[in-house]
């Protein structure tokens, strides 16, 4: 019994010696509990609004994420994709999908070569960007619960579906 315990101990020590304390786990998936906390009634309303907009505008190349996020990749790229712990450099513009189902002509926010910590961004971006390699261009259709939810944010009304044109420039 002592021999087995000794070999287990040695095995653990060898395993630990091969581990780096500087190693950071690269998580690319948002905690499911955060996604599950999105109010389902509003999510269903938002998904209907997004689906109607996509249909009315003949947008068909859309990926449906189980979270409710929809996105279309306009330019595909290959390579490494970001972890939630990374900072991403992006070009983006965002507009609101109005209650009438049309896309607002007013951009509520935009940026070029902006470095942002992915873990600090809205849930919709945290779900989308780990799927993209640098140089990917996409349109994100973000239900309100994956954005700002029932709280208004600046010029964005409560429960707004957001549409972003994004390009992942690089990963830091």
Domain segments of the chain as ranges: 2-171
In the prediction, which pLDDT does 25 show?
A: 86
The 10s digit of each residue's pLDDT in 130-170 is 999 999 999 999 999 999 999 999 999 999 999 999 999 99
Residue with tokens 């070569």: 113
In the prediction, which pLDDT does 20 show?
A: 38
* CATH class of the domain at 2-171: alpha beta
> What residue spans of the chain are helical by DSSP H?
2-17, 32-36, 40-56, 123-128
Spell out, as residue ranges, where the chain has pLDDT lower than 70: 1-24
Tokens matching residue 121: 């961004």
In the prediction, which pLDDT does 56 show?
A: 96
């Amino acid at each position: 019994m002592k021999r087995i315990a000794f070999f287990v101990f040695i095995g653990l020590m060898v395993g630990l010696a091969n581990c780096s304390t500087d190693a950071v786990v690269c998580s690319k998936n948002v905690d499911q509990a955060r996604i599950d906390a999105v109010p389902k009634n509003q999510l269903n309303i938002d998904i209907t609004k997004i689906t109607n907009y996509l249909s009315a505008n003949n947008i068909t190349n859309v990926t449906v994420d189980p979270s409710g996020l929809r996105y279309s990749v306009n330019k595909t790229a290959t390579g490494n994709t970001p972890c939630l712990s990374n900072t991403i450099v992006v070009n983006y513009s965002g507009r609101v999908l109005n209650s009438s189902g049309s896309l607002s002509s007013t951009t509520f926010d935009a940026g070029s070569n902006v470095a942002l910590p992915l873990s600090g961004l809205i849930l919709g971006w945290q779900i989308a960007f780990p799927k993209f390699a640098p140089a990917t261009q996409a349109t994100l259709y973000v239900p309100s619960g994956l954005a700002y939810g029932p709280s208004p944010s600046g010029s964005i009304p409560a429960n707004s579906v957001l549409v972003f044109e994004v390009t992942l420039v690089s990963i830091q």
